Amino acid sequence: MSGWTLGIIGGSGLYEIDGLEGTEEIAVETPWGAPSDKLVRGHIGDVSLVFLPRHGKGHRLTPSTVPYRANIDALKRLGCTDVLSISACGSLQEAYAPGDFVMPDQFIDRTVSRDNSFFGPGMVAHVSMADPICERLSAMAGDAAEAAGVKVHRGGTYLVIDGPQFSSRAESFLYRQWGCDIIGMTNMPEAKLAREAELPYATMAMVTDYDCWREETDAVSVTNVLEVMQKNANAAKQAIAGIVKTLQGVERTGSPQGIETCLDYAMITAPDARDPAMLAKLDAVAGRLLV
């Protein structure tokens, strides 16, 4: 194998990967509970892949009931080296049209009701989120999406809300004033947790609609979203195939941003003050530093 084990978190409309060989379904137990669903592990050529449907098969989980900590822990536990998030989003800018893909490089986290860290009392850590996206993985995913015939926007700010309701017009206008480009409900705390787990993470955000700021179009509805979502999901599958093709035969090296060692500079609790129970829960996420 090439050293790549790509974890893929499938968002709305993406519940499987085409072309996986040697597949097995794995029910992973984590200290943070069960992940959204069984994970599917397999390979395409010499690239290993692990797939997890974020909302569970059949879209059973709301954005705020997705077990984000369990999901990231499970991907780390199964040996993933990198994580690509696929997610649907709304557009806050005229140029980002339904059907376009966005490779954001920044997030604004407006969620308030979710567990957003693996660390806590007894083991405190502060990772940097200045640059939350793995530039290398994002570039490869963007190239693959363009090769699949999709219009791709490189960079942009993804505003994350709790949901499950869509935003009000007043909120939508406010987010545009903040300079946000797209809006969604799922990439936080997912990106924060991936960084704590030292996993290079990138988002392929698929625009399904204009958010309700655009008064000349109908306000966003599930009916409208589903139609675009199906087209986007097919393009996302082609893009995933393209990423895997790029990775074939390319030996994986560490992230140029040093993401795989970010905890070296993050953990602050003195060794003699660390809670053994908390350390046990961090066996997958931070095990390399806690042995």
Burial 118-142 (b: 16+ CB within 10 A, else e): bbeeebbbebeeeebbbbbbbebbb
The active-site residue out of 82, 211, 218, 275 is 211
**Active-site residue, from 46, 162, 209, 275:** 209
Q: For residues 71 and 164, is the Cβ–Cβ distance under 8 A?
A: no
B/e letters for 178-199, b = 16+ CB within 10 Å, e = fewer, are: eebbbbbbbbbbbbbbbbbbbb
State how far the Cα of 8 lies from the Cα of 136, in Å rounded to an integer: 16
| Residue 217, both tokens | 């179009």
Pairing type for strands 5-10 and 82-91 reads parallel
d(CA 211, CA 100): 14
For residue 211, indicate whether it is catalytic: yes
162 is catalytic: no
Q: 186 by DSSP, 3-state: which?
A: coil
Is residue 208 within 8 Å of residue 232, measured between CB atoms?
yes
At residue 39's C-alpha, the angle toward residues 38 and 44, to 5°, is 150
- Active site residues per annotation: 209, 211
